[in-house]
Amino acid sequence: MRPIARLLTALTVLALVGCGAPQPAPGPDPPGTVVIRDVTVVDVAAGSLRPHSTVTVQGSRIVGYADASEAPPSAGAVVIEGTGRYLTPGLWDMHSHSLWSPEAVQTFLPLYVANGVTGIRDMGGQLPMLAQVRDSMRTQDPLWPRVVASGTVLDGAQPVQPDISTPVSDAASARAAVDSLARAGVDFIKVYTLLPREAYFAVMAEARRVGLPVAGHVPADVTVAEAARAGQSSIEHLRDEIELFCSPRDVDACGALADAFRRNKTWQVPTLSVLRSKAFSPSPGSRPTHDCGTCRPACARNGWRNETASVSVAATTSRRNGSGMRMRRG
């Protein structure tokens, strides 16, 4: 594994827990040692900055931290000069869709690392792409983030996104779909909007049997509280069912839902950047100001245009009718 890849892997676990660890004794460093010298460490635990620090990484472990003026010499290590730079924990994108085409994989995965994202949770893609990514990471050591993925999405007989979904119509097909994904080596199961009620609870039971967590949307025929009690580990997007409970009109219902989440260890993944981009989308056909053209595949740029066009039309219709706009599931 190349030194910078080792460094980025190590940063995913940086929480400054090693600040008081014993420092390496002077002398040659073991092979594969990386030293980041005279850098400002972002201490996320204390909410402070630690300027003029030196951090030592061996393999995938952070093994040393010291004031730059006190750090021992680095003999045989790869030294990265950090003067004027910041060292932060590796970030995670907890709701990503990057495994739906070779173009998307080759474009998005390097961009994640370039922006400090060293881990992603891919919430729906194509199984052949997941297999290819894992094979590449095992044999070629590309500079990509760690990928935790669901493979295809489990949805109803007519899926919302058929290109990345496995259609499920009843309990038997639900169990078969979970078993198939488990054999494919996915990290978790994702459920979606149109999954029938019977199939949803069969998915939950079978996923529990094979040891896979379940995340995703709450199907239309299931309540949020039922999903939490059934053991769904996360609910994606801060909208739809959640906003019905957590509005100023019903504080008690919102509190009860929060209690159910806490008891059942159900997380809410708000995907705020997605909601913001839709709420402040430009006019139909225009390009977002942050679109860097060639750094995004054509399929992503076209998807952005289609999405902003649909949101803009919905907003215009809503204004004409004098009603509030309610976004559809994504």
64 and 158 both lie in a single domain: no
CATH, residue 257? 3.20.20.140
pLDDT digits over 129-172, tens only? Answer: 999 999 999 998 899 999 999 999 999 999 999 999 999 999 99
> d(Cα 326, Cα 243) in Å, to the nearest integer?
11
Asked if residue 305 belongs to a domain, the reply is: yes
Q: Are 61 and 15 spatial neighbours (Cβ–Cβ below 8 Å)?
A: no
> d(Cα 214, Cα 212) in Å, to the nearest integer?
7
259 and 239 both lie in a single domain: yes
Asked if residue 168 belongs to a domain, the reply is: yes
Place of tokens 């019903």: 250
Higher pLDDT, 152 or 59: 152
Q: Are 129 and 102 spatial neighbours (Cβ–Cβ below 8 Å)?
A: yes
Asked if residue 327 belongs to a domain, the reply is: no
* Res 239: pLDDT: 72
Q: Are 56 and 34 spatial neighbours (Cβ–Cβ below 8 Å)?
A: yes
Asked if residue 330 belongs to a domain, the reply is: no
pLDDT digits over 75-86, tens only? Answer: 889 999 999 999
* Res 115: pLDDT: 92
Number of Cβ atoms within 10 Å of the Cβ of 119:
19
* Res 301: pLDDT: 59
Domain count, the chain: 3
- Bridge partner list, 268: 235
- Domain assignment of residue 71, given as a range: 3-87
- Reported as a pLDDT band with limits 50, 70 and 90, residue 273 is confident
- The reported pTM is 0.75
